[in-house]
Amino acid sequence: MNYKKASLTAIFSLAILLAGRSTSAEAPEWSKATAAAEAANQRGEYQLAETSYKHAIELQQNALGAESPAVAITLNNLAVFYQDQSMYPEAEQTYKQALAILEKGPHGNASFAHTLNNLAALYHDQGKDDKAEAYYLQSLILWNEQGSSETLVAAEAMFHLAEFYHTRSNNLSAEPMYAHALAIWNTAGQLETPEAITVQSTLGNIYRAEGKYAQAEPLLAQALEGTEMKLGQDQLKVASSLNSLGLLYYCESNYDSAEPLYRRALEIRIQALGADDPIVLQTMQIYAAVLRQEGRKADALKMEEQADAMAIAKL
């Protein structure tokens, strides 16, 4: 799923034509140039694509005026092109040129919100998350005002904001953003995307840490199922999902359900990392604790001794 760089031409071309600011003779010229740019970009002819976008902008400025929303839309799409080519300074400058035009338009301009979101994604691509956060928030405010907060592109912005907050351990702010994004993806039938699986896992772990076990369990179970479907049965990310769901069951004192999950996680990690890896040793110790809680003291002791022996050998 990737909605971060929204192309605005298809969405807003009708509105521009209805505005009556171009004649039937003028419109095809810049429309052809835009189509040529998009086609060249698809073919990998990037120099031609850039030239065609710039030519379309020039034609629009001459035909519609420099402050036309059509100009801003093509600037946005040129900025998307630059961003795809990792030409970040050019993309930033071009997004800002588009925004300077769009912010003069009527309140609730949808293209303005999308371009703000695109600029946020640009900053996020560069690791400038403080700047990205401000623009994601601004775009969400506009979408809320427009009644468009339940769209997939809004969900993508919520996801990134939640990730920023979670990284800072601000789960009070992250939790509702994660939950809202997940609800939108659920409605759209997109719970099997990497972003949705990430949210299921992260939100499930947040709920577990808060003691909201009933809310955590279905999310962690869905995250495990989705990760297995995407990656197969024997990947380290699957082991991490097994560990998360196992920890939830352990917190609930549901040791019979926790035990096979930890056992599988241990098997995957030994195979992938080696028996003396610190993560493997930690998993063995937790697994031993589960066995002990189940009353399998001999098995638990054997596992603990094995972990201790490996730890000593590693010194």
pLDDT in tens, 117-150: 999 999 999 999 999 999 999 999 999 999 989 9
292: tokens are 């002990």
CA-wise closest residue to 218 among 260, 253, 186, 255: 186
pTM for the model = 0.85
The mean pLDDT of the chain is: 89
* pLDDT of 61 over the 90 cut: yes
pLDDT on residue 110 = 84
Give the mean model confidence (pLDDT) for residues 17-33: 57
105: phi > 0 → left, psi -120 to 50 → alpha, else beta; which? beta
Q: How far is CA 248 from CA 29, 205, 216, 245, 259, in A?
A: 62, 8, 8, 5, 12
Contact 128, 158 (CB under 8 A): no
CA-wise closest residue to 239 among 247, 250, 219, 208: 247
pLDDT digits (tens, 9 = 90+) for 184-199: 999 999 999 999 999 9
Contacts of 191 (CB under 8 A, 6+ apart): 182, 185, 197, 200, 222, 226
Give the mean model confidence (pLDDT) for residues 235-262: 96
CA-wise closest residue to 68 among 116, 20, 117: 20
Q: What percent of the chain has pLDDT over 70?
A: 89
